Structure formats: structure tokens, C-alpha cells
Amino acid sequence: MTTPTIELKPSSRPLSDTERDAILASPGFGRHFTDHMVTVKWTEGRGWHDGQLVPYGPLSLDPATNVLHYAQEIFEGLKAYRQPDGTVATFRPDMNAKRFQHSAWRLGMPELPVETFIEACDALVQQDKDWVPAHGGEESLYLRPFMIATEVGLGVKPANEYLFVVIASPAGAYFPGGVKPVSIWLSEDRVRAVPGGVGDAKTGGNYAASLLAQAEAAAKGCDQVAYLDAVEHKWVEELGGMNLYFVYGNKIVTPTLTGSLLAGVTRDSLLQVARDLGYEAEETRVSIDQWQADTESGALTEVFACGTAAVITPVGTVKRATGEWKQSGGEAGEVTMRLRNALLDVQRGTAEDRHGWMHKLG
Ligand SMILES: *Cc1c(COP(=O)(O)O)cnc(C)c1O
């Protein structure tokens, strides 16, 4: 099957420079979208075809479209950063493309070729590059590739038609007023994912399953939920949309990928960045009781969460049914901030790209 090239059908009425600049002055997160989107279709027997860059706009779907009923949907999230020389680069798009294939496989969907995923992202960033915020801060253009089952009908089976779409949204600094630690509710009853399930696929259903716990956490005054494994309710897995790291002095550890965790690109990158900076970095299992005991003994010095949107978020407070404690005095820890800046410097092009992570566009 051939790889489609994206046919360019740009908008005749993109936003004016003034309108766009007004949005870029305070973009928030996921509130505004660029002038264009890319779509590629897949049909059984024909494969991937009809790749197009078109004006951003609504999709028209029959009410019986499969995805609306059985949630055969997957997505990705990656960022394009303005570089010091004015060009634009995306961060490790090949990792997102491969994870998208894994998610597709798990959800019974066709796997988009890695080159087509990257080509689609490149075409959109290239067309809308004026939407990539200026170099300097933490601002970026967030790309949201996703795929939905578009077959019409209520039969339960993998669909015979799909639509792959990439949209883009300018993203401001995640912490506009400076990095602020988050509070975590440790859920010991609700789970996010189960062994043999879809926890390692980036699919909307995992998020739907996490929203009630998220609302309960908010009612307890917490920002985020941390989930434990579904069998023993003992091993720390991750937050609803971010992976976790534990700092033990000069060593950082993150929960092993057991199949019910999402393999974050940020998680993977930090294992390497930490080693580059001379820290030990390892993947292991961490129990909730060990988390609490090691904090109390002082061995566990910092905890942080990581993901594309916030890069690194320090954890300041942890609450569970039986108690609550502060992490590094409720402040952003030193190792946390050092890793955060080191990774951001690679992304915004002010530190050497030692591992070929930046995918440069014109
Ligand atoms: C996307 C996601 C992450 C973070 O992955 P990154 O590739 O680092 O953005 C972590 N956990 C879940 C459940 C996710 O969906």
C-alpha cells in the first residue's frame, strides 16, 4: 500500500495577523485552533488515501457513526517549538507515530505508517507556522493527531472505515505565574486501567473512565488523581494523563511499564536526560506505602509528574484516605526543576540535541 502525500487545499480566509497575534498573546491550552487541519482516510480494501490539508472546521458525522457508540478512537499529543534561528521543530514525532500504531493495534484499528503520521504533522505545522509562538519562553504549538472509526452502523466489530485528523492549538506556558506544585489524591478504590486492558493505548476511553475520580479529587481539594494497580491496589501507576517520577537524592525512579501504564515520551526522555546530567535513573515498582514511608524517613526527596503538556509538574501535597503529607515541603524540588529546564532547553533549541530528538522544519 502506498503512503499518501498530503494535497494542499489551504483556506482562502485565514485569520489576519492582528487576530492571530491577539490569540497568541494569551493562548491558554486547547482553547484556540489554527487555520487548518489535515485529514487522511482509510477504507478496507483501499488502505490509506485522500490525504488533504484543508481549512479547520467541523466534521460531519452520521448519528450512527461507529465511534459515537463504541469509542473506537485513539489520539496523540506532541509539540512544535520555535527555535532560536526562527525555524520550527517538533519533539520526537517518531515516538508519537510509533505509539499511535501501538494504540491502533490495541483498538483493532489500521496502523498509520510512521512516515504518513510525520508528514501530516509537518504539513500542518508548515502551513500554520505563524501560529508557533515566538522563541524564548515555554510556549509552543500543540499538535493533536487522532483517529476515529467512521463506519456507519451499530454492529459491534472493528470498523471498515476510519478518519485520521491532525489539528493544532497554540499553548501558553503551563504555569504562567511560575511553576506551581500540584496536589494529588491517591485513589485506592477507583482504577484507571487493568492488566490486559487498554491502559497502554492512548484512547479517549481511558480518560472517560478517569473523570469521576478526577471530580472526586477536586471535591477533596486536589488537582490530580494518582492511580494504583488494579489487582493489589498497592503499586503506583500514574496520573490520569501524566507519568510519575520519584527522586531519591541522586537517583530518579519511575514505575515500570507493566502494560496498564501509558509509555510517555516525556517519561522516556527524562530517563535519558537524567543520565546525561549524572543522575541514576531506573524503572521499578513503587508501592503506595513505600511512597509514604520514604517521604517520612526523608529518603524520598521529591516527586514529580511528566507529560507533553506541562513537561514536568512538581507534586507538592499527597492525600490518601488515611492521611496526607507534603513532598519537599510543598515546594518545587531542585532536581525536578533542573530536569525540567534541561528538557525544555533541548525542546526550545538552547541546549545541544545530543540524541537527535528535534525534528526540524523550515
Ligand atoms: C499522554 C499520556 C501521558 C504522557 O505521555 P507523553 O508522551 O509524555 O505526553 C501519560 N499518561 C497518560 C494516561 C497519557 O494519556
Q: pLDDT for 153-170, tens place per residue?
A: 999 999 999 999 999 999
pTM over 0.85: yes
Please name the residue whose Cα sits nearest to atom 12 of ligand 1.
Answer: 241
Q: Rounded distance, CA 335 to CA 339, Å? A: 6
Taking CB atoms and a 6 Å cutoff, what residues make up the pocket around ligand 1? Answer: 77, 202, 206, 238, 241-243, 262, 264-267, 307-308
CA of 152 to the centre of ligand 1 (A): 30
| Domain architecture of the chain: domains with CATH | 7-171 (3.30.470.10), 182-347 (3.20.10.10)
Q: What mean pLDDT do residues 43-72 have?
A: 98
Phi, psi of 312 (to 5 degrees): -135, 135
The string of pLDDT tens digits covering residues 78-118 is 999 999 999 999 999 999 999 999 999 999 999 999 999 99
Per-residue pLDDT tens over the stretch 206-228:
999 999 999 999 999 999 999 99
First and final C-alpha spacing in the chain: 29
pLDDT at residue 2, as a whole number: 53
Q: Rounded to whole angstroms, how far apart are CA atoms 177 and 171?
A: 15
Q: Probe ligand 1: pick from 73, 262, 347, max atoms within 8 Å of CB?
A: 262
Which residues, 6+ apart, have CB-to-CB distance to 228 below 8 Å? Answer: 186, 187, 188, 191, 234, 235, 236, 237, 288
Q: How many CA atoms lie within 13 A of 257 on its CB side?
A: 9
